[in-house]
Amino acid sequence: MERLWPKIDRIFEKAEGEGRDRLLEPEVYALLAAAGIRPPRHVFLPAGRPVPAGIMAAFPGEEVVLKVVSPLVQHKTEAGGVAFVPKKASVVKSKMREMAASAGGGLRGYLLVEKVAFEEFGFGTELLVGLRHSREFGPVVSVGAGGTEVEFLGERMAEGQSAAVLSAHLTGEPEILDRLSGLAVTAKLTAPFRGRPAPLRPEELRRVVSLFLKLGAHYSAFRPATRFVLEEAEVNPFVVRSGRLVPLDGLARFSRRKVPLARRPPENIRALLRPGAIAVIGVSEKMNLGRIVLRNILKMGFPKERLTVVKPGFDEIDGCRCVPTVSALPEPVDLFVLTLSADQCLPVMEELAAAGLARSVIVIAGGMGEKEGTESLEERIVDLLAAGRAAGRPTPVVNGGNCLGIYSKPGRYDTTFIPDSKLRFPKSESSELAVVSQSGAFMICRVSALGRHEPLFAVSVGNQLDLRVSDYLDYLKDDPQARVFAVYVEGFKPGDGLLAAEAARRILATEGRAVIVYKSGRTPEGRAATAGHTASVAGDYAVAKAVLGSAGAVLAESIAEFENCVRGFLALSGKKAGGRRVALLSNAGFESVIMSDGLGRGAFLELAAFSPATRARLAAALAPLGIEKLQDIKNPLDLTPVADDTAFAACAEAVLADAGVDAAVFSPVPMTPAMQTLPPSELSQENLAAEGSVSSRLIALYRASAKPFIVNIDAGPDYDPLADHLEDAGLPVFRRSDEAVAFLGRFVAASRRRQFFSFSKNGKLEV
């Protein structure tokens, strides 16, 4: 399309020269034609000029469409600016005079368009394809049913069936049809129906959507080389004629707005997360926020001799040397922790930047950029950093403000200001979890709730005045220890959503990794709340969900699902689902039914068909207890409460060995007396950890099998020891069967998305 861009540029230039940022419909047709989408036959008739003789003969059929052309009339149908008229010059002239009276002073002329004879087949006859430039994610293309059905269907159809949203920068040609495959309108357009051949070949749909994506990517505010930005372009509707999509009505709006995209220096982020020397300011001789931070750093084992406190009048605090001022630091530090109030931060930042005394800074101060009167403080710090980087001076990266700090296991520090008595980060030999949260409170609540999983890093980014969510994802993508990324975000800075999605895609190019996102600010009330929390502007949730989801991230709909996904992906990080065929086993009929119901609620799973060999193996495992006489051998398999530890484990092993099974959910209801599911006690002679118990057998099976499976323990506190025993061994354990099935569907769907990933030649976003 390279040779076509100058032609489209000239269309924008002409409109701009007339003081317009919106194209007239003849110009929209010209833009589409230049891009490779043929509009209907049409002629523009300037206002005040005679209708050329014989012009009607150029149009087929008995009628033509007459449209008023005016920059003041955006919705022509409602304004009486569209009419179907007989193909007679006298009638057309009469209708033009009538339209002129209602068009106002902005009338430029009329568009005479052929009346397109298109295929009509009820729902799906009309298609909408629209492009818009979102604040957070840049150009995105929406595809769905068009015409008057758009809003009605959007409100009544299940999510993912009415419309699809595709990122112009991240969507590759091979993945377009997959992204559109769940739409009801796609099925109606591209599949045979009741003996009628499909109206449209899938390749034509992909071609048109691809052209919109290319328009969006070329005329993106994030692309420095482009002269114009295509803020909005929509065709509603497209119709099908002779196997081709034909645009009937369109609009377009453009600008020269540019949004520079920049990543912070990765070497400084490394200094932040793995510092060799740290300094802290704001420490009191009594217990205050700064003193808690200091002690939390020491508690992690950071060397006292590499830790400096900026405090006049003291030689040392807690065994760490003190210096009276920032400028008295004997050498630059990798990390400077600023625990002063918001109004004291700017002078310290100016001193650090002027002397090059810190490679990174954590600004804890709350209220910055949120409370009225503090916005200028944040802006001045942002300007200070920008000026330093533009001049090529050593300039720190800044985390915060209004942040809770950072927990870095490799860096051996914890700058959160929560005392040890209130929050103890769990300890483990190996850590694979990276938490990046805009809210510090969300971060520590999830760490506390997750219990046994120590984060490799837990980063509270706060207001993102400098370092952003995308910076951490982009940096940590190269850390081999980080396997599961748990992200909480309220609002992205302009363009940062796109960079975060691109970083997520790079992360997920490595097998066994997951990016789990909880995005708040979904409702007007939620967006208002985030604006008062971390100085965020919460964007369009539907776009965030679509773009991040297409990059492979898992968008959790609830906090419970967020935690389930974090636990589950951590446990399954070494497993791979080869497909979506699932086996469901339980010793209770209701569990079998509920798990099966879960497959019908968008779980992206389907029941596996057991092979004859597996069915024989299952029957043999159940025969000693006579269960095969009580139940048919099928999927889901109800083993009944008669099944003991041996039978249950043997059946689990049999289904996992079946080549037609990709994953499984095993739900042993633990109250059955046939299994050892309790710890030894005065009331019970059982031993859930005994060598032959169902839990020990499942643990052995989990370690031996490459296939993912979930264990569900649907029971109360008496069976917490059973669940803990399994989780301590690394198994993914759920306490509700519907949640287990839902998570497994998420896991399998995330694995499938990887096959569509594509990257630019240099591995970076081409902007």
3-state secondary structure 9-74: HHHHHHHHHCCCCECCHHHHHHHHHHHCCCCCCEEEEECCCCCCCCHHHHCCCCEEEEEEECCCCC
| 3-class SS letters over 260-329 | CCCCCCHHHHHHHHCCCCEEEECCCCCCCHHHHHHHHHHHCCCCHHHEEEECCCCCEECCEEEECCHHHC
* Phi, psi (deg, nearest 5) at residue 267: -65, -30
Residue 611 CB coordination number (10 Å): 15
Q: What is the pLDDT of residue 3?
A: 81
In this prediction, residue 74 has a pLDDT band, given cuts at 50, 70 and 90, of: confident
Residue that the structure tokens 């939620």 belong to: 526
Question: Parallel, antiparallel, or unpaired for β 581-586 and 663-667?
Answer: parallel
Q: What is the pLDDT of residue 535?
A: 40
Q: What is the pLDDT of residue 53?
A: 84
Nearest to 501 by CA among 438, 549, 451, 571: 549
Q: What is the pLDDT of residue 272?
A: 98
In this prediction, residue 367 has a pLDDT band, given cuts at 50, 70 and 90, of: low
Average pLDDT of 718-725?
A: 97
* Phi, psi (deg, nearest 5) at residue 408: -125, 110
CA 192 to chain centre: 33
Q: What is the pLDDT of residue 156?
A: 47
Q: What is the pLDDT of residue 373?
A: 57
The yes or no reply on domain 266-571 and CATH 3.40.50.261 is: yes
Cis peptide before 636 (omega within 30 of 0): yes
In this prediction, residue 766 has a pLDDT band, given cuts at 50, 70 and 90, of: very low
In this prediction, residue 767 has a pLDDT band, given cuts at 50, 70 and 90, of: very low
Residue 755: pLDDT over 70? no
Of the listed ranges 25-29, 82-86, 146-150, 380-384, the one predicted with least confidence: 146-150
- The token duo for 505 is 């895609």
Of the listed ranges 142-146, 479-483, 574-578, 712-716, the one predicted with least confidence: 574-578
Instruction: Decide: 747 and 756 in contact? Cβ < 8 Å.
Output: no
pLDDT tens for residues 606-624? Answer: 999 999 999 999 999 999 9
Q: What is the pLDDT of residue 467?
A: 97
- Name the CA dihedral angle for 278, 279, 280, 283, rounded to a multiple of 10 degrees: 120
How many CA atoms within 13 Å lie on the side-chain side of 235? 26
Q: What is the pLDDT of residue 193?
A: 79
How many CA atoms within 13 Å lie on the side-chain side of 727? 20
> Which residue type does 317 have?
I
Burial class of 401 by CB neighbour count within 10 A (0 to 12, 13 to 18, 19+): buried
Residue 10 makes CB contacts below 8 A (sequence gap 6+) with none
Q: What is the pLDDT of residue 728?
A: 94
Rg, Å, the chain Cα set: 31
Instruction: Decide: 741 and 595 in contact? Cβ < 8 Å.
Output: yes
Beta bridge partners of 323: 310
How many CA atoms within 13 Å lie on the side-chain side of 10? 6
Measured CA to CA, the distance from residue 139 to residue 214 in angstroms comes to: 10
Q: What is the pLDDT of residue 424?
A: 86
Nearest to 109 by CA among 142, 136, 140, 73: 73
The yes or no reply on domain 127-255 and CATH 3.30.470.20 is: yes
Instruction: Decide: 359 and 395 in contact? Cβ < 8 Å.
Output: no
CA distances from 747 to 409, 515, 609, 645, 742 (A): 27, 11, 20, 28, 9
Measured CA to CA, the distance from residue 668 to residue 673 in angstroms comes to: 12
Instruction: Decide: 485 and 432 in contact? Cβ < 8 Å.
Output: no
Can you say whether the dihedral through the CA atoms of 470, 471, 477, 482 is positive or negative? negative
Query: Taking the chain, what is the end-to-end CA distance rounded to the nearest angstrom?
Result: 17
DSSP string over 501-541: HHHHHHHTTSTT-EEEEEE---SHHHHHHHHTTSS-----H
Q: What is the pLDDT of residue 160?
A: 57
Taking each continuous run of H as one helix and of E as one strand, the counts in the chain are 23, 30
Q: What is the pLDDT of residue 532?
A: 44
Q: What is the pLDDT of residue 602?
A: 57
Residue 366: pLDDT over 50? yes
pLDDT tens for residues 127-183? Answer: 999 999 999 999 999 999 887 655 555 554 455 567 899 999 999 999 999 999 889
Two domains, one topology: 127-255 and 266-571: no
Residue that the structure tokens 């396997």 belong to: 483
Q: What is the pLDDT of residue 604?
A: 82
Q: What is the mean pLDDT of the chain?
A: 90
Domain coordinates of the chain in residue numbers?
2-114, 127-255, 266-571, 581-753
Average pLDDT of 93-100?
A: 89
pLDDT tens for residues 640-693? Answer: 999 999 999 999 999 999 999 999 999 999 999 999 999 999 888 899 999 999
CATH classification code of 581-753:
3.40.50.261
Measured CA to CA, the distance from residue 306 to residue 74 in angstroms comes to: 66
In this prediction, residue 764 has a pLDDT band, given cuts at 50, 70 and 90, of: very low
Residue 534: pLDDT over 50? no
Residue 48: pLDDT over 70? yes
Q: What is the pLDDT of residue 628?
A: 80
Average pLDDT of 499-515?
A: 94
- The token duo for 318 is 């807690």
Residue that the structure tokens 């406190």 belong to: 309
- The token duo for 484 is 């599961």
> Which residue type does 129 have?
V
pLDDT tens for residues 403-429? Answer: 999 999 999 999 999 988 898 888 888
pLDDT tens for residues 436-458? Answer: 999 999 999 999 999 889 999 99
Q: pTM to 2 decimals?
A: 0.90
